[in-house]
Amino acid sequence: MLKYLLEKEFKQFFRNKALPKIAVVMPFMAILIFPLVANFEIKNINLTVVDNDKSTISRELTEKVRSGGYFRISEVADNYQEAMRGIELNTSDMILEIPAYFERDIVKEGTARLYIAANAVSGTKGGLGSAYLAGIVGDFNKNISTVLKDGAITISPRFWYNPRLLYTHFMVPALMVMVLAMVCGFLPALNIVGEKESGTIEQINVTPVKKLTFILSKLIPYWIIGFVVLTICFLAAWMAYGLVPVGSLATIYLFAALFVLSFSGFGLVISNYATTLQQAMFMMFFFLLTFIFMSGLYTPVANMPDWAQKLSIISPLKYIIIVLRQVYLKGSGFSELLTSFWMLSAFAVFFNGWAVLSYRKKS
């Protein structure tokens, strides 16, 4: 009987005009487009240089800033007021002012001052831009110092697991989770509510079909579709970025299965409370947005305020995102992911238990 119900679900899925197409397009969107647009790296910052010194050192500094790749020197202004106008007109993001006698002060006194001003309307751009510029100046400073005295200590950082600090490598594994959550959490819940809204569930309810059979017939197709979509994500990430997991795919599939189990349970809870598709959609969006922002998808959980870090344990997405990032970038194995394993298992029990209880109460 389950077999026949599954056949029905697949028929309805593939007969739907939009769903199969979206299921294919979504992983490509998520892997190929989203990481490029949701990117926190700042490039092409427009910089106005006010060089009051016009010395060799000031020209060297300007050249160094230009060659770093982050800055585009949009203007060379004669004074600070003129430079400010560029900021006001939005043609310039930052100002670097080199004071007069800059070279003389460095050579004679071993110290000199520089002024950096940033347009902080976009906080990230202003903050990161200043930091980059300060870094370049610091680097420059070190070069001069080593020229002046010997034996200065140089620091060379090594970035583990993502040596080139690629933002895409950080985002892509997490975006795969989003896709999985949409297909396996959203779709079956909406499907069940759809049957409620159209009244077809009544007709099913008067048949001897067991409720569990009926629900499985709703979940299994989306589990299968979810895993197909996840696999497409793996391929897309490999083709587009050469990104392959350092760890084993089996670990990822195992945790993905656990996550899917818990998240489809969450979908069932919603389908029990919603009587119309509109209600179900709204509830889903509300919780999905909460889960996403609490999950550390965009910003690391460690950056959040204390209370938010505590609150982030309610997001099942957090744990599966940790798993995907760890396995993809660090090659973690099962034993290093035990916290996520237990948390996801707890979510699976919690949501599915809630789904069963809330269903009983309603009938």
Partner 1 sequence: MNPVSKDNFTVTHALSCKNISRSYGKVKALGNISFDVEPGEIFGVIGPDGAGKSTLFRILTTLLLPDSGSASVEGFDVVSDYKKIRKIVGYMPGRFSLYQDLTVEENLRIFATLFNTTIEENYYLIKDIYSQIEPFKKRMAGALSGGMKQKLALSCALIHKPSILFLDEPTTGIDPVSRKELWEMLRKLKSQGITIIVSTPYMDEASLCDRIALIQNGEFLKIDTPKAIVESFGRRLISVKGDNMGLLLKRLREIPGVISCFAFGDSHHVTTERDGNSADSLTADSLRFALEKQGHTNIEITPVEANIEDCFMELIAR
Q: Is 200 in the site for partner 1 (CB under 8 A)?
A: yes
Q: Is 275 in the site for partner 1 (CB under 8 A)?
A: no
- DSSP assignment, residue 68? T
**Residue 206 vs 302, nearer CB to partner 1:** 206
Q: Is 278 in the site for partner 1 (CB under 8 A)?
A: no
Q: Is 362 in the site for partner 1 (CB under 8 A)?
A: no
Smallest separation (angstroms) from partner 1 to the CB of 199: 4
Q: Out of 1, 131, 246, 250, which residue is the one contacting partner 1 (CB under 8 A)?
A: 1
| Distance between CA atoms of residues 13 and 221, nearest Å | 9
Q: Out of 109, 207, 300, 361, which residue is the one contacting partner 1 (CB under 8 A)?
A: 207
Between strands 71-77 and 94-98, the pairing is: unpaired
**Residue 15 vs 149, nearer CB to partner 1:** 15
Q: Is 78 in the site for partner 1 (CB under 8 A)?
A: no
Q: Is 15 in the site for partner 1 (CB under 8 A)?
A: yes
* Six token digits for residue 240: 């587009």
Name the one range near partner 1 by CB under 8 A: 120-128, 149-157, 169-177, 205-213: 205-213
Contacts of 314 by beta carbon, 8 Å cutoff, 6+ apart: 290, 291, 294
| Distance between CA atoms of residues 278 and 355, nearest Å | 20
| Distance between CA atoms of residues 348 and 346, nearest Å | 5
Binding footprint of partner 1, residue count (CB under 8 A): 20
* Sites for partner 1 among residues 140-199 (CB under 8 A): 198-199
| Distance between CA atoms of residues 31 and 168, nearest Å | 9
Alpha helices in the chain (DSSP H): 2-15, 19-28, 34-37, 56-67, 80-88, 102-109, 123-148, 167-181, 187-198, 200-205, 211-241, 249-273, 277-294, 306-311, 316-325, 338-362
Q: Is 209 in the site for partner 1 (CB under 8 A)?
A: yes
Q: Out of 89, 153, 206, 338, which residue is the one contacting partner 1 (CB under 8 A)?
A: 206
Q: Is 289 in the site for partner 1 (CB under 8 A)?
A: no
Residues found near partner 1 in the complex (CB under 8 A): 1, 4-5, 8, 11-12, 15-16, 198-200, 202-209, 363
